Chains A and B, each alone.
Chain A
């Protein structure tokens, strides 16, 4: 564990002491080395239980896919940011890279925390670098509002979580994951216990996001620069899912009745945000709402607390992380050429950038959950377990799948097919860097088809 964390911390030192000409290549190579080393976390000699334990950090089959995703994403963020930061002064570039690295450090500590307060502190700590990336390096005036929404939605949800964790700690004595399963469960019917249940989950529901409290997400994703959008979509939303899965253990048996409205809200959100995607004019906004849609399915899968639900949620989180990040990178390639996010301004790109069209095609297919990709595996497992929980959810989830397919195809057809507008004929050709970036996103997704056991958690 420390052999990944300490090199990540020293990457901060490398950022500030490398000669400027070699900064980006050095950091890229360093982060790739850390990412490759982190792949060892996927090797799990036993099916359940904790690995590599020290007093404060450990990982298990639930957190190791998310940890590997976090470490894998840093080199990808660095590749993606190289172009738009090239014009900035030297120290600003170093500061930006330091923010990305510190985000990775906090995320590693969050996913490997063994005690819930440590998880909480690191969960909140990830807000600060993300806030700075969005508000300082975003490109439009609305980024300040986006940063405020992002910070305050998340904090308003997570401060009750802190009080709820402290209440549990004062009555049960320990908040360590290792002993949570064996501590007696709280079984009472007081109204205050229902409020406590709500307080435990609200932070993660806001982070995921659940449909009613999702307003921060389109703002934050759209206004963030590419690395900010990538890390938000790929990993920060999954913090909410991961936290929910960890805390579900202590919330039984209240969850059986109290989770009804949230499951319905999540499923309704799948349909509503999917429908909004069909009417979007802003490309990044479309991808952001598609994130809300997928995470609504994840939230429903976690709240029904079945093994297939948890497994489906975890696989969908990993697959969605890679897919959504790839889609944001593709949208960024459009943005860097036309400096606009409007979809209809960059149409018919297959004529001009045919190789990029391949990546658009693969990413759109992944987004609409085409078999045999892991996206489908996750969605099918969640839909099946929801059907088992109640027959009527099939209407909502089936409709949701249909709408997802329509907006993903709509996005692909609108950006790639059709006649190309005249102002785009002299578009800059695709860089090798951009092809590398998308290959590194989509190849792991394709490779996961062969061995999904790596990412399906400890319940299946």
Chain B
């Protein structure tokens, strides 16, 4: 893509999210979300492949619906309470509508159906932006509204972890697996939103780090299906040996950093006397772990015992910038002992 146009689009994406971060007026927040959506659309269909165009259209339709619902809810709130401030939503109808609209925006179950199909149509870099950056603005809004209905967020959260687990079980396309993993992690974030919002932020940031590592690993290997991962040990052996740890960290296994958000969320839920919910959510993480384990089997744990001199793919020189991958992989594996420091930082 023309570098000037790319610059404008990326700048506009950053601008949209920043406007939403900085806003306390509902119209400004909605505007930021719309700028964000519109800016990413050309990035999504830049290859002009019919599948990519289809993904772009699906994304546009769902995000436009969500934004319209958001606008409707904020107008209703303005009609009832006479003010447009973000934090002062005290009536249940607008608050519930806003929550559902934002759930559609980020792809929580049962409003998740667009996510796997959209991610499947994109290339890995744009998919990464969709999974990480595009979640920031809606979460900023979710963190600021006072939830009216305790059960709504819990149902959204639990349904997302279960759907994210079960949906990914039958997939062999990596982007769909990443979509379902995103849904499951978003479920965990929403579970604790009304009790300890800093944990939502922590989970979001940890998810960003872990999924960044995974997306970039797949990009380095240029693979989009599980089968094509099996040749990655010859292209990049060290990345292949780190991938099981990244995947197990996404699955939430101690002593890797992915355990940190799950542990803290379970602690908060048990403090709020929601122990059966905590157990159910923890067990649903096992579903996701199954397909993470399957990917790690395909990539690393079935590596051939000796170096084969034949049956190797062409290794063309690549100028991939792998420094970000190195940083995020280290963070994904080694961050658990810093949990007290991170909690203190987030609750300042």
Known A148-B290, A148-B293, A151-B293; contact A159-B306, beta-carbon cutoff 8 A: no
* Residue contact A135 to B301, C-beta cutoff 8 Å: yes
Stretch of A10-18, A120-128, A380-388 on the interface side: A120-128
The 3 closest A-B pairs by CB, nearest first: A159-B282, A166-B270, A135-B301
* Chain A, Cβ-Cβ closest to B307: A89
A125-B255, A128-B245 provided; 19 other pairs, C-beta below 8 A? A89-B306, A121-B254, A121-B259, A121-B336, A124-B253, A132-B244, A135-B301, A136-B303, A148-B290, A155-B253, A155-B286, A159-B279, A159-B283, A162-B263, A162-B266, A166-B266, A170-B271, A192-B275, A199-B279
Alpha-carbon separation in the docked complex, A264 to B278 (Å): 31
Give 15 A-B contacts (CB < 8 Å), ordered by A residue.
A92-B305, A106-B255, A120-B254, A122-B254, A124-B254, A125-B254, A127-B253, A128-B245, A128-B256, A132-B301, A136-B302, A147-B301, A155-B289, A162-B263, A163-B278
Q: Is B246 an interface residue (CB 8 A)?
A: no
Taking a contact as CB atoms closer than 8 A, the residue among A144, A159, A163 that contacts B275 in the complex is A163
Alpha-carbon separation in the docked complex, A120 to B266 (Å): 14
Taking a contact as CB atoms closer than 8 A, the residue among B290, B293, B301 that contacts A136 in the complex is B301
* Chain A, Cβ-Cβ closest to B300: A136
* Chain B, Cβ-Cβ closest to A95: B241
Q: Is A276 an interface residue (CB 8 A)?
A: no
Q: Is B215 an interface residue (CB 8 A)?
A: no
By a beta-carbon cutoff of 8 Å, the part of chain A in contact with chain B is 87-89, 92, 95, 106, 120-122, 124-125, 127-128, 132, 135-136, 144, 147-148, 151-152, 155-156, 159-160, 162-163, 166-167, 169-170, 192, 199
Would you list which residues of chain B between 269 and 314 have a CB under 8 Å from chain A?
270-271, 275, 278-279, 282-283, 285-286, 289-290, 293, 297, 300-303, 305-307
Alpha-carbon separation in the docked complex, A88 to B307 (Å): 9
Alpha-carbon separation in the docked complex, A450 to B289 (Å): 48
Interface of B (DSSP majority class): helix
**A199 CB contacts on chain B under 8 angstroms:** 279
Contacts between the two chains (Cβ within 8 Å), count: 84
**B119 CB contacts on chain A under 8 angstroms:** none
Interface of A (DSSP majority class): helix
Alpha-carbon separation in the docked complex, A155 to B270 (Å): 19
Alpha-carbon separation in the docked complex, A124 to B251 (Å): 13
**A144 CB contacts on chain B under 8 angstroms:** 297, 301-302
* Chain A, Cβ-Cβ closest to B241: A95
Q: Is B47 an interface residue (CB 8 A)?
A: no
Give min CB distance, A139 to chain B, whole Å. 9
**B305 CB contacts on chain A under 8 angstroms:** 87-88, 92
* Chain A, Cβ-Cβ closest to B248: A128
Q: Is B267 an interface residue (CB 8 A)?
A: yes
Known A88-B306, A167-B270; contact A160-B301, beta-carbon cutoff 8 A: no
Alpha-carbon separation in the docked complex, A170 to B275 (Å): 11
Give min CB distance, B154 to chain A, whole Å. 16
Alpha-carbon separation in the docked complex, A87 to B303 (Å): 15
**A135 CB contacts on chain B under 8 angstroms:** 297, 301-302
Alpha-carbon separation in the docked complex, A127 to B283 (Å): 17
**A120 CB contacts on chain B under 8 angstroms:** 254
Would you list which residues of chain B between 117 and 139 have a CB under 8 Å from chain A?
none
* Residue contact B300 to A160, C-beta cutoff 8 Å: no
Give min CB distance, B313 to chain A, whole Å. 19
* Residue contact A128 to B253, C-beta cutoff 8 Å: yes
Q: Which of A147, A163, A167, A192 has the most CB of B within 10 A?
A: A163
**A151 CB contacts on chain B under 8 angstroms:** 289, 293
* Residue contact B301 to A163, C-beta cutoff 8 Å: no
Alpha-carbon separation in the docked complex, A122 to B267 (Å): 18
Alpha-carbon separation in the docked complex, A192 to B106 (Å): 36
**A155 CB contacts on chain B under 8 angstroms:** 253, 286, 289
**A89 CB contacts on chain B under 8 angstroms:** 306-307
Alpha-carbon separation in the docked complex, A122 to B254 (Å): 8
Known A89-B306, A121-B254, A147-B301; contact A156-B270, beta-carbon cutoff 8 A: no
Alpha-carbon separation in the docked complex, A135 to B305 (Å): 12
